[in-house]
Structure 1
Amino acid sequence: MSVSTVSARRQPRAIILLHWGSLALILAAVTVVLLREAFDDRGVRLALLDLHRDAGLLVLAATALRLAARLRHARLPAGDDPWPLRLAAAGVHLALYLLLGAQPLLGWALSDARGQHHALFGVLPLPVLSGADADLADTLADWHEGVAWGLAALVALHAAAALWHHYVRGDAVLRAMLPAAEADPGRLEAGLESRSSEV
């Protein structure tokens, strides 16, 4: 069994920080909107909904920065996987970026359609994407929920692929994105060599 050397290069720091920062923001957005259901107090529910909206808007900003960083560094290595796997990986990444951009925009438009115009952190008023419209709000709510489930499925698939690369392929795809490995870029290649000798 040979060990793949795909993606042994360290990912740029900006991409690593935006990757894990986006995950933290997504988890925060999901947590506060689920936590909201545990409260009957209208003020608490509104405060949690505002936090959900703020986290979603930060996800949108982080996604734009991630795309810019990805285009600047052009660090999606071809690797030595068969082309169908590379094509599938590229497709999942593209779908993730699309849904990470679409989901906050749907939530933003949904708030406007409900007549609940939002200001980021209660300070920065946002442009209005749609006028108040109950029917549109119902449609956008359905889309927002559907995209949330699609995004959850893609994130799970993305995580499963990273674990497959780490535990089955034995390559450095996962380690190249871990913040802890940042101190010594040579550790990635050294880890691969030691793993190769064990096989």
Structure 2
Amino acid sequence: MTALCADVAARCEELRHVHMPRVLVSFTPSRNRSRYGLQARVTPLRFRDGALTRSHGPTDYQVQRFFVDGREMLYVLTFCLPRFLDQTFREKLITVFHELYHMAPSFNGDLRRHPGRYAVHSHSKDRYDERMGELVDDYLADHPAPAAFAFLRAGARELWEAHGGIVGAVVPRPKLLPVGAVPRQAAARNRKGPK
């Protein structure tokens, strides 16, 4: 999935800002085999405009940070399995484009924001996905290396049987953490005083 997303970003002008070495790709198990429900999600690891912290009352908060090989991640891209893999080939690609398109054009850890009340999907999620379908069609047209996405033509069961399993990282949803907070155990020790 990481290689596919990198290929999409390299070939789609509107997604050229996506830098996959800063995106942590993971999966979450779907609770049932229904095709309806969460397919994928992108979780920003920064606040609006890429800010590392945000104030709420007297406390500053930051999103839990993730590092892979010493490199800080800006997004967590999660696919819901097997549900994502049980979509049609085109639906899978639309889902990939949909999630990558959510990443801010400045690629600063924030989401792309649209004007108006529905800032994440614009005023129409259907129109948003229709646009993603147009981008998918452009991506597929005359693609020189269709092996990059060939695996998406199989469903979850076929992939499992062909490869003996499906491997991926499971990453917990990032938490909002107060900045500079004393860990609970340390705070309890400090209240008791020195021994």
Question: Common fold, TM-score beyond 0.5?
Answer: no
Higher RCO (C-alpha under 8 Å, 6+ residues apart): 1
Higher strand share: 2
TM-score, normalized by length of structure 2? 0.21
Greater helix content: 1
